[in-house]
Structure 1
Amino acid sequence: MIELTGWKPLGISVDWAAIKGELGVPLPADYMALCEVFGGGVFSDSVYFLGRDEGVLFDFLTQWRVSLSVDQDSQYGDVSAVDPYAIHAPGGKGLVEWGSTEWADEYCWLIDAERPGDYPVLARSHDGGPWHRYDISTSEFLYRILADADFQPFGIAQYDLGTTFKPGSGGRPFDGRPL
């Protein structure tokens, strides 16, 4: 990903033990490396990557907490935004979102506390269709989205958007103006 984007690693320090404690499971090693290199932000002006970010917009943990809160809110009944799954709760099995697109495609891991180390990527396109399962790493999935025009329905390489990265630090828009 570094070579693909021409990005200079940020070397972000993240307290992964605290995150593991809150989630109840460790995160994929390649995802943690991506976070330390990129932080949170946007690839190719359209693929949103949730990392650890001082703002809330691209902060993985903040987004997970909000999703879990909504998913567990009894006022919505038994309906889940990630049906037929649920949002991962500590000690359970469910989805944790790590990315999306400007078109509302969703990229998640299916995390099972009883199977730590197993992180299939589940992706769903903006039309709310079925979830697609990929037994590949987060970084390979992200690479294929950006560089493989034949990676359908999620590949964006055919749109010739380039392979750039813009950090989302502080939750500010990319032109630096406050929200």
Structure 2
Amino acid sequence: MIELTGWEPLGISVDWAAIERELGVPLPADYKELYEAFGGGVFSDSVYFLGRDEGVSFDFMAQWRVSVDQDSKLKDVSAVDPYAVYAPGGKGLVEWGSTEWADEYCWLIDAERPGDYPVLARAHDLGGWHRYDMSTSEFLYRVLADAEFQPFGIAQYNLGTRFEPGSGDPADSQPR
């Protein structure tokens, strides 16, 4: 991803033990590398990556906490139906990315199977979840660079592969 985007890694220092303690599971190693290198922001003006952001727009943990709270209020219905939002000790989805077209990119996490992180993706206009047994970075790379990676590949739109870090402004809910 660094080579694809020409990005200079940020080298963000992260207390992974605290984050993983709150989640109740370890996160994928390649996601941690992406997080430390990029923080949170937008690839190709279209693909939102949750990492760390001084605001809340691209903050992975802030977004997860909001999702858990919202899903718990829905009772018998879930915003990620037929799944649930992952809560510590359980099984469910954790969103790590999305697009301006409301596509969603998540991991299916099962606390009883740490280390198994299939990517589940849902295209807003198609509905239904697609499962990909690949790493976060491979999925993201294919979205950005593989025009044949449908329905999620965006390379055919010639949007480039640049990365723009998050705004850092908590009042700004949209990327700049």
| CA-CA distance at 1:45 after TM superposition | 0.2
Matched, 1:118 2:107: no
Local SS of the residue matching 1:84 = coil
Number of aligned residue pairs: 173
Tell whether the 8 Å contact from 2:96 to 2:107 is kept in structure 1 after alignment.
yes
Please list the CA deviations of residues 2-27 of structure 1 after superposition, one character each: whole Å capped at 9, or x if unmatched: 01000000000111100000000010
Shift of the 84–128 alpha-carbon distance from structure 1 to 2, 3 Å rule, reads: farther
* Range with greater deviation from structure 2 (162-171 or 35-44): 162-171
Partners in 2 of 1:77 and 1:34 — Cα distance? 34
TM-score by length of 2: 0.95
Partners in 1 of 2:123 and 2:66 — Cα distance? 21
TM-score by length of 1: 0.94
Matched, 1:160 2:158: yes
Partners in 1 of 2:118 and 2:63 — Cα distance? 19
Partners in 1 of 2:55 and 2:97 — Cα distance? 16
Equivalent residues in 2 for 1:127-142 (5 A)? Answer: 127=125, 129-142=127-140
Alignment-derived partner of residue 29 in structure 1: 29
Partners in 2 of 1:32 and 1:102 — Cα distance? 23
AA at the equivalent of 1:113: A
Matched, 1:48 2:63: no
Partners in 1 of 2:145 and 2:79 — Cα distance? 29
Instruction: List runs of 5+ in structure 1 lacking aligned partners.
Output: none
Tell whether the 8 Å contact from 2:143 to 2:154 is kept in structure 1 after alignment.
yes
Partners in 2 of 1:59 and 1:167 — Cα distance? 11
Alignment-derived partner of residue 151 in structure 1: 149
AA at the equivalent of 1:166: E
Please list the CA deviations of residues 59-116 of structure 1 after superposition, one character each: whole Å capped at 9, or x if unmatched: 000000000000001xx33110000000000000000000000000000000000000
Tell whether the 8 Å contact from 1:40 to 1:169 is kept in structure 2 after alignment.
no
Alignment-derived partner of residue 103 in structure 1: 101
Alignment-derived partner of residue 80 in structure 1: 78
Local SS of the residue matching 1:91 = coil
**Which runs of structure 1 show a deviation greater than 6 angstroms over 4 or more consecutive aligned residues?**
none
Local SS of the residue matching 1:80 = coil
Local SS of the residue matching 2:45 = coil
| CA-CA distance at 1:158 after TM superposition | 0.3
